[in-house]
Amino acid sequence: MKYDYLIVGSGLYGAICAHELKKQGYNVLVIEKRNHIAGNIYTEDHKGIQVHNYGAHIFHTNNKLVWDYINSFAEFNRFTNSPLAFYKDKLFNLPFNMNTFYQLWGVKKPIEAQQKILEQKKSYHIENPKNLEEQAISLIGKDIYEILIKGYTEKQWGRKATDLPPFIINRLPVRFTFDNNYFNDKYQGIPIGGYTKIIEKMLEGIDVKLNSDFFENKQEYLSLANKIIYTGPIDKFYDYQFGALEYRSLYFENEVINESNYQGNAVINYTDFDIPYTRIIEHKHFDYVETEHTVITKEYPRDWKIGEEAYYPINNDLNSNLYIKYKELADREEQIYFGGRLADYRYYDMHHVIEKALNFIKSLDKQ
């Protein structure tokens, strides 16, 4: 065998595994089906502006070890994500905080905002929220649900908010302070120079083959290495034998504009159902650069079919049960390890992926 490990996928999970294994003296080959490394955190330089090709990526974590780890590959700026929401020609601050409540109801004190929310949710008598709509109304009342959540959520997921699990909305903070920070995490920022450089650094000195789909030469790849770390879709690995796990996909429409500042903020969400995109990203605001032009991306949610880019797992009961069946097969493998957002079928942020990858590498030591 030429390699100790074959790693399928050069995203964050695969790259960390490759880096750590090489550090321990193993011989590693990474194969990647796309024509570039870095998976969904791939960023590309457009005349000085780092464009996030697969959607806006803001790093945030409370885990100091994870923060120190990622900072060993790049210097981070102190970007704080403070998106705005656009609804029927008005702008509101996100996440839901005293600025939003003031813009919506004119309330200036936390107690007034709390009373307003209590009043709005009282008539619904929700004790144990069973779906996203109930969860949202019980967290922040009917007005915010209708203006800032319902339309966005239903176009994002292509389903009624009453057919979605409550936990999706728990990602968003609700605060009774005037604080527009989208995340509660202690450590946040954007890597100066973009994310691709981080992955390049992780993969330094490692054999990487681009445009190489594992399934197109499976037998040959299996013969190259003793062990495999697979970061692609778990259901595809088993030839969809129990059926395909469902995803929501996205279409990114990029535009270069001859204006130095298009929208004055990195992220503006469009919460009205009738506007087909969910957000407009203006990339230069992630790490401000003086340029005469700017690059924006409109993000359109769309249905997913096998073969298209899979972005958001649909974590309902049907898919969770299906995933368990594939996981049972994966757990029986002796030389093949599964990891990352596609193999675990989970809506992971980057910090989760780092934690998972480092823990996995540690677990190999014990074997």
The question of whether 32 is a catalytic residue gets the answer: no
4 is catalytic: no
State the Cα–Cα distance between residues 341 and 234, nearest whole angstrom. 10
Alpha helices in the chain (DSSP H): 12-23, 64-71, 98-105, 110-122, 132-144, 150-157, 196-202, 218-222, 234-237, 317-332, 350-366
Is 11 among the residues that bind ligand FAD (CB under 6 A)? yes
The binder of ligand UDP chosen from 74, 172, 244, 275 (CB under 6 A): 172
159 is catalytic: no
Contact of residue 188 among ligand UDP, ligand FAD, none (CB under 5-8 Å per partner type) = none
- Contacted entry of ligand UDP, ligand FAD, none for residue 340, CB cut-off 5 to 8 Å set by kind: ligand FAD
> How many residues at the interface with ligand FAD, by CB under 6 A?
34
Looking at residue 256, its amino acid is V
Q: Residue 271: which of ligand FAD, ligand UDP, none does it interact with, CB under 5 to 8 A by kind? A: ligand UDP
The residues, ordered by sequence, that sit 6+ positions from 135 with a Cβ below 8 Å of its Cβ are 129, 166, 167, 169, 170
Q: Does 39 bind ligand FAD (CB under 6 A)?
A: yes
Dihedral (C-alpha) 114, 119, 123, 127: value to the nearest 10 degrees?
Answer: 20
In degrees rounded to 5, what are phi and psi of residue 270?
Answer: -110, 105
Site for ligand UDP in 72-101 (CB under 6 A): 85, 94
Does residue 247 carry a catalytic annotation?
Answer: no
- Applying CB under 6 A, among 4, 34, 105, 172 the residue interacting with ligand FAD is 34
Q: Judged by CB under 6 A, does residue 171 bind ligand UDP? A: yes
Instruction: Supply 223's token pair.
Output: 């013969």
Please confirm, yes or no, whether 347 is among the known catalytic residues.
Answer: yes
| Active-site annotation holds for 171 | yes
Q: For ligand FAD, what does the binding mask look like between residues 53 and 92, x meaning CB under 6 A?
A: --xxxxx---------------------------------
Residue 156 binding ligand UDP, by CB under 6 A: yes
Let me know if 248 is a catalytic residue. yes
Q: What's the token pair of residue 357? A: 């990858």
The two counts, helices (H) then strands (E), for the chain are 11, 16
**Cβ proximity of 74 and 49 under 8 Å:** no
Q: Which residues are catalytic?
A: 171, 175, 248, 279, 299, 347, 349
